Every structure is written in structure tokens, then in C-alpha cells.
Amino acid sequence: MPTAIIPAVGGRPGRAADAPRPGSPADSRPLPPDVDQGRSADPAATALIPAVTGRRPAAAPTMDSTALMGAVPPVPDTGEPADAQGDSPAEPPRPRRGERVVQLRPEQTGEGYKSVYSELTRPSLASRLRTGIRVAGEVLITFGLVVLLFAGYEIWGKSVIVDARQDDLNSQLTQAWAPDPTVGPTGPTKKPGPPVEGKPIAGLYIPKLDKHWIVVEGVTPKDIRYAPGHYPKSALPGEVGNFAVAGHRIQATFWRLDELNSGDNIVVEGKTEWYVYKVYQSHIVKPYQVEAVAPVPMKPGVKPTEKLLTLTTCNPKFDNYQRLIIHARLDHVQAKSAGPPAELEG
């Protein structure tokens, strides 16, 4: 390798041989204070510096503003073809199994440009079937929720309404039974008139079920909406014949009527007496078998000789294609002045 000998001054590398000597007119720069201008350089103090040959070294790549953020610095242009530098476009990935490649570029057809996603959005038999199943499922779920809400209203919602209405009927019955202020205690007793449809006529207690209702006159849907109703042509409490009462099979009324057994007590409250009945039979009949409320149950046309009570309601629960019938016989009568009967305690 070619070398150049440059003398060193004062133990330091000096200038090249053809460079202006320090202190000469060609070099107007001041000399350092440690250099003796009057002393010649030591020819033995030399240093070998390799000569620079060939092409110049490539300059360091210029850093742009993105280099500080970890970006890859630009690749210098070497003049080679793009294919040689590895910049050729990569091949599109092959679809995996089960995948479908859809051309995103719009295609021109006779009707105009084809939608980019037309292949994906086009309905098929499978998509229509899935849509139909989803819609049917939503309809069934909605229908089920409606049925549950209706059942909840029938069981619990009506109870609140019936209880409030029963309080009103109780107040009306108490007022109807109150003594007439225009008649003295020794005056003649006013004979009660016939029952008025829709008006309260008696109290009904079933101690086993811990239930108490006010019975109204009439068995139409309007009459028994909030209370048990008395069959108009049947006997009144304590009379010979059949005191027949109908009620809805709801939580607030005759829901648990099927729990009554022979010997259980049913107490009816009149204006001046308590009537205590004992259950002796329960059975199920068809809705058209009205002979269940005849003066002699199941024997229409027979003259009655007993004082009976009959309760009727729908059967089974949540349906009405049958009728549940409870028959009771009068056991004894107790004056209200003597207080409530012991049977009311269960």
C-alpha cells in the first residue's frame, strides 16, 4: 500500500512535505506557544498514514424525522434494478380452506357497474332459511313473554284489584246491614227485600284456606269479576234448598278450592246470624251439567228437605272445560250477638 511520510513536530504528527511551513508567509496562522520556531524538525520523527485510494466511502444515510420513532431508514439507491433489490410485489396470499375470495374491484356489466360486495350480499336459499328461523324464534320468544306476563297478571295482578274491590263491597255490606236510624230499638223490624243484582248479600269464610269474600248477587261475568256470585234462583243462606255460589278460579278467589275435604267448615255471614256448613262431597262435572246447583244437587225437580251450600268454579286451573263442585250441609246457626263462631278460627 502506498504511504506518505509526514514529519512530526514536537512529538506530534506534522504536516505533509509540500505543506507550508509554520511561520512562513504562506501560513499566516499563529503557531502554538509550545512550538519553537527557531528549531528544525526532527527528521526521525515520522508517521505512516495510509494513502486514500479507490472510490470515496459512502456517506452515512441521512436520517429523516421518522428515524427517531423507530422507522427503517431509507435504502440508498444503488442503481440496481428493482427486482434485484427485492422490491418486487409479493404474491397475494392463497385462501385457506373454507374461505372465499371475492373480487373487490367493481366490474362493469350490461346493467352498469356490479357492486363490490354483490357476491357476499346476494341472498341464497341457506340465508333465507336462516332468516326465517331467526324471525320465527324471535316471534316465539315474544309470544312466550306475553303468555308469562298474562299468567302473572292472572295470578298476582288480579289479586290486588280483587282485594281492593272486596274492601269496597265489605263497606257496602256493612252499611246495608246497619240499623235504620229512623226506627227505634223496639220498633218493627223491616223485612229485607229481594237481592239486587251486583250488590253484596253475604260474607263467605273458608277457615282452612284462610280466605274471606263478600258474595254478590248474580253470576254474570260482570257480577263475579271481583267477587263470588250467588245464583239468583237458588236459596239464600240458612234456607231450605241449595245456596249456590260461583267464583273464578284465580288466586284471589277459588284458586285452592280443590283442597277442601269432607268435614271442612264453610261459614256464611248473614245480617244477624252465622251459618256453619260442613263439606260432605266434592266432584267434577261438565259445564252444561247445571243440575249441580239444583235445590237437590244432581236431582233436578226433586223437592228439597235440607239446607245445603254449593260452591262451583272452573277446572282445571288456567282452563274451563270442567267444573269443580263442592257440596256442604248446614251444621248449625249462631246469632251474631254471641260473637263469631269457633269454626272461624280454623
Burial class (CB in 10 A: 0-12, 13-18, 19+), 297: buried
User: 10 Å Cβ neighbour count for 280?
Assistant: 13
Closest alpha carbon to 14 in 40, 51, 50, 47 = 47
Q: Is 314 a catalytic residue?
A: yes
Query: Residue 178 is which amino acid?
Result: A
Q: By the 8 A CB rule, do 199 and 173 touch?
A: no
Question: How far apart are the C-alpha atoms of 195 and 218, rounded to whole Å?
Answer: 9
Sign of the Cα pseudo-torsion (270, 275, 276, 277, in order) = negative
Residue 13: alpha-carbon gap to chain centroid: 91
Catalytic residue among 248, 283, 327, 332: 248
Q: Per DSSP, what are the bridge partners of residue 3? A: 50
Active-site option among 212, 230, 283, 314:
314
For residue 336, the 8-state DSSP code is G
Half-sphere exposure for 34 (CA within 13 Å, toward CB):
4
Residue 250: CB atoms within 10 A of its CB come to 19
Catalytic residues: 248, 314
